Amino acid sequence: MRSYYAYPVLAALGLATGCNRAPEAEAGRPNIILIMSDDMGYSDLGCFGGEILTPNLDRLAANGIRFTQFYNNARSCPSRASLLTGCYPHQTGIGHMTSTPENNSQHDLGVPGYRGALNRSCVTIAEVLKEAGYSTLMTGKWHLGIADSTEWPLNRGFEKFYGLIPGASNFFKPESPRGITFMNDPVIIKDDNYYTTDAFTDYAIQLIGESKEKSPENPFFLYLAYTAPHWPLHAPPEVVKKYRGKYMDGWTVLRENRFARMKQMGLIDPEWELSPQYSMDWDSLSKEKKEEMDLRMAIYAAMIDRMDWNIGRLTGYLEENGMMENTVIFFLNDNGACAEFAELGSGPAEQLGTEEGYVLSYGQAWANASNTPFREYKHWIHEGGISTPLIVHWPKGIPANRRGKMLNEHGILPDIMASCIELAGTEYPSEYAGNKVTALSGKSLVPLLKGEDKVLHPEPVFWEHEGNRGVRLGKFKLVQKWDKDVPVRWELYDMETDRTEIRDLSAEMPGKVNEMDRMYDEWASTHLVLPWDSVQVLYQRKRESEQNTNR
């Protein structure tokens, strides 16, 4: 039987495993670590109301700041594009998705907002910070362009990279075409103890150590993009064992328990209602099916547990080497919990708990619980699709009287770029490598971290993904769910009194709907956003062209 542990992969290669940087040497610009999880629900972490054991993230939250209304872009690559560039996703060329290893031009529709890879009209955090004298490091999931290495991390500002170029892989045995890359070269995994979440952390620690040995005067920027808890459901068996049987009461009880904890913790207004449950009655399942569903959720929980354990390894390394005090850590997620591909999950039950399988998911019923108290999931612009926990930890920069606080100002992914620019003491460029650069859409979070109370986004902010659309203007949110079989219409909600989106105000406030609708149309027309019907026509033309070419 395998045993799973932190293994000295790089030490075996004869590389450095640490540094002896003195604490007092970290007095200048901060190191910056950006950690992103993958397909995790809003309430999964302990510090956001969940029962999953996440002591290391809970500790960062208790000594840092939690943003309770931070938003992503509802899907993996559009979120990652905004996160790293400070722009809306369509402006980066990733208005829908990036292409896959099986078809590396699949999502290149030949129009600027839908090229399937980062364009050269945007810059990444790594490109900006590298120019400012930072060492730039990345481990984990890229998912921002796959066709060739010109679209990969080393050509977008990162000096070192270890991880996954496409969007998902086997956690135990990642193999081509969804294998691991080091720098620009494929890695053949031979270690029987390999687990991607562990390996991404091993290399993160390793690359920090190397950067400090090479350039001890330079701060570093690390982007650590975990693939957990994205499917396939893969986790070390001893971690899964901790959670077996804990979900036998079902998703209804889990939602209610999380909802109660979130109210008690002050994460949500006690007056908000719990959103409707979109899943079958747990008691309608057979005993065997309940046990299978318990196992699916146990593996999912174990994936988050293991990620948190690895974050503890990373922060422990920083503390041991005197770097924790002046390191800013951001932790957030790329989209809401994933309801793919069926209500009760996908993939053969006999593969659960093994190292086999690929499209092994926990399903809509558990995703509904993971997103407590919100509606909808990954893909959609209702709160369950775009709400992410955001934890920011910075001992040197966050005043003692701010630590442990929860801030309710709404923010968006481009704010991370703006924050990194302020932290690094640099400027966002108007040109880069001979290309004109799209204007920054974010606002720095740093003043909020240091104690300033202000409205971060008095202007409207926007979303669009697969025809699902949204606008946030102050306390109001206008949102629309695309459906090919049903005429679409806007819904309007008051986020102060009804963030769970229960009471649609559109009929009562048509003037506000029209005002925000006009704002959306103006934004879409200036940010390379096409109507979803038009995008589908482009996909159809592309398929027909490829079929004609292959005849």
The contacts of residue 489 (CB under 8 Å, 6+ apart) are 480, 506
What pLDDT was estimated at residue 104? Answer: 84
The string of pLDDT tens digits covering residues 12-28 is 333 444 444 333 334 69
Under 8 Å between Cβ of 163 and 141: yes
C-alpha–C-alpha distance, residues 429 and 435, integer Å: 10
Model confidence at 250: pLDDT above 60: yes
Question: At 481, which amino acid appears?
Answer: K
What percent of the chain has a predicted confidence (pLDDT) above 70?
A: 95
541 φ, ψ to 5°? -60, -40
CB atoms under 10 Å from CB of 419, counted, come to 26
The string of pLDDT tens digits covering residues 508-539 is 999 999 999 999 999 999 999 999 999 999 99
The string of pLDDT tens digits covering residues 255-265 is 999 999 999 99
Beta strands 160-164 and 180-182, pairing class: antiparallel
Question: At 276, which amino acid appears?
Answer: P
The contacts of residue 15 (CB under 8 Å, 6+ apart) are 206, 210
What pLDDT was estimated at residue 546? Answer: 87
To the question of domain 36-547 being in CATH 3.40.720.10, the answer is yes
The string of pLDDT tens digits covering residues 450-480 is 999 999 999 999 999 999 999 999 999 999 9
Instruction: Give the sign of the dihedral formed by CA 187, CA 188, CA 191, CA 197.
Output: positive
What pLDDT was estimated at residue 27? Answer: 60
SS3 464: strand
Judged by average pLDDT, the poorest of 13-22, 94-103, 434-443 is 13-22
What pLDDT was estimated at residue 16? Answer: 43
Whole-model pTM: value is 0.95
C-alpha–C-alpha distance, residues 406 and 48, integer Å: 10
Q: Which of 337, 360, 307 is nearest to 170 (CA)?
A: 360
What pLDDT was estimated at residue 549? Answer: 81
3-state SS record for 329-352: EEEEECCCCCCCCCCCCCCCHHHC
The string of pLDDT tens digits covering residues 357-409 is 999 999 999 999 999 999 999 999 999 999 999 999 999 999 999 999 999 99
C-alpha–C-alpha distance, residues 444 and 93, integer Å: 24
User: CA separation (Å) from 117 to 143, 177, 275?
Assistant: 9, 18, 36
C-alpha–C-alpha distance, residues 374 and 477, integer Å: 14
C-alpha–C-alpha distance, residues 48 and 333, integer Å: 13
Region 339-358 average pLDDT: 97
User: Bridge partners of 472?
Assistant: 461, 477
- Give the confidence band of 492 by pLDDT, cuts at 50, 70, 90: very high
What pLDDT was estimated at residue 4? Answer: 36
Compare 32 and 550 and report the one with higher pLDDT: 32
Domain ranges of the chain: 36-547
Region 153-166 average pLDDT: 99
User: Bridge partners of 187?
Assistant: 180
Compare 486 and 289 and report the one with higher pLDDT: 289
The string of pLDDT tens digits covering residues 115-125 is 999 999 999 99
